[in-house]
Amino acid sequence: MTQSMIRPVTPADYREYARRRLPGFLFHYIDGAANEERTADRNQSDFGRWQLRQRVMRDVSGVSTAARLAGEDVALPLALAPVGLTGMFARRGEASAGRAAARVGVPMGLSTVSICSIREVQAAGPAVWFQLYMLRDRDLVLQLLEQAWESGVRTLLFTVDLAMEGVRHRDIRSGMVGSTLRARLGRAWQIVSHPRWVWDVGLRGRPHTFGNLGFFDTASNDLNAYKSFIAGQFDRAVTWEDIGWLREHWQGRLYIKGVLCEEDARAAAERGADGVVVSNHGGRQLDEVSSTIGKLPEVVAAVGDQLEVLLDGGVRSGLDIVRAVALGARGVLIGRPFVYALAARGEAGVHDLLATLQHEMTVAMALMGVTQVNELNPDCLQYCGPERV
């Protein structure tokens, strides 16, 4: 079947569109993961360990996917995850995705290293959650926090699983990283062989700098200079004690993103976090760790009565959202799926993908005999995976 005959509906459909429309190194950057990418694969496949329980002869005339996340009403228990460089996948990508999120009624996470600034995305209309990395330059962190607060952001996602960048073999193979002549020529060829991207993103999507770091002077106003600066700024010495410092300077809601075990979840609760995001960075950091859905029950059992627990990684359908919520997550974040849709069809693609996820969730709830999100619980599922120890 040719591309022109396909109407993209699912994340897999949008992924195929994105693969054809993006320069190869950009597609593999968003599509790839760490090492052999086994954790990224398990993030998706492990959802299949839980089957949905069908129930009949119940009044499901008023099914609603409405929920509350981070103290705000949302149309469904989902937020767009913060994804760095989103503005390289579509023209002013973060703002376009933000408009789609606002139309549907879900929040948008914005990366420290986004192309569009917080203000530009806020102007698009969504509730913005700002994602923060702890940098060595604490004055720079304070400037980011101040910028977020003044822009109206009240929810902070503090990402803690990036003490070092993961080993991403695909980025080397594709030419995404590397300063050799061969790598530079490879990137150049991939770019010029995608004229649609060159026109829409490369030319009309400028500037391609990190919008939230516009106040930082660099000798060269280009993306590589910013990337090098940030890479040198990741602080490997961050500990739980730094949460206290962060709490002193951030008065809004604080979520710790990158928790994958009950011990770290309890530590987050003890330090005054409002929530945790069960996350392994989409399998992009440490390969061969557990899937997020596999660890969700453990984290919920440990802190679910104290904190709001969210999940990201592997969500590809409304059925996956149902599974995650039934297992105790308040909601989920999606990253790759919305970026695929954005690269394929811009704002319209993200909107239609979110609408599909909501419809899938509505149908699943109705056929499970459930009308409200808060009615979903473990009894709505049947575990069919390997025997648990």
Strand pairing class (155-159; 128-133): parallel
Annotated binding site for glyoxylate: 29, 133, 168, 281, 284
Q: Which residues are annotated as a binding site?
A: 29, 82-84, 111, 131, 133, 159, 168, 257, 279, 281, 284, 312-316, 335-336
CB contact at 8 A, 114 and 121: yes
- Which residues contribute to the annotated binding site for FMN? 82-84, 111, 131, 159, 257, 279, 312-316, 335-336
Residue located via tokens 């999100």: 373
Give 34's contacts (C-beta < 8 A, 6+ positions apart).
40, 166, 167, 168, 283, 284, 285, 286, 287
DSSP assignment letter at 127: P
For the chain, give percent helix, strand, coil, nearest 5.
50, 15, 40
* Cα dihedral: 246, 248, 251, 252 (round 10): 20
Distance CA 203, CA 302 (A): 49
Is the separation of the CB atoms in 358 and 104 below 8 Å?
Answer: yes
- 28, 194, 281, 351: which one is catalytic? 281
Question: For 198-335, where are the alpha helices, taking DSSP H only?
Answer: 223-233, 241-249, 262-270, 292-303, 318-326
HEC letters along 35-73? CCCHHHHHHHHHHHHEEECCCCCCCCCCCCCCEEECCEE
- Are the CB atoms for 342 and 90 separated by under 8 Å? yes
User: Are the CB atoms for 140 and 216 separated by under 8 Å?
Assistant: yes
The one-letter amino acid code at 233 reads: Q
3-state class (DSSP) for residue 2: coil
Q: Is 169 annotated as catalytic?
A: no
d(C-alpha 89, C-alpha 342), whole Å: 7
- What CA–CA distance (Å, rounded) separates 90 from 187? 17
**Which residue, among 45, 51, 47, 9, has the nearest Cα to 320 in the 3D structure?**
47
Q: What is the DSSP letter of 261?
A: S
- Give me the active site residues, please: 281
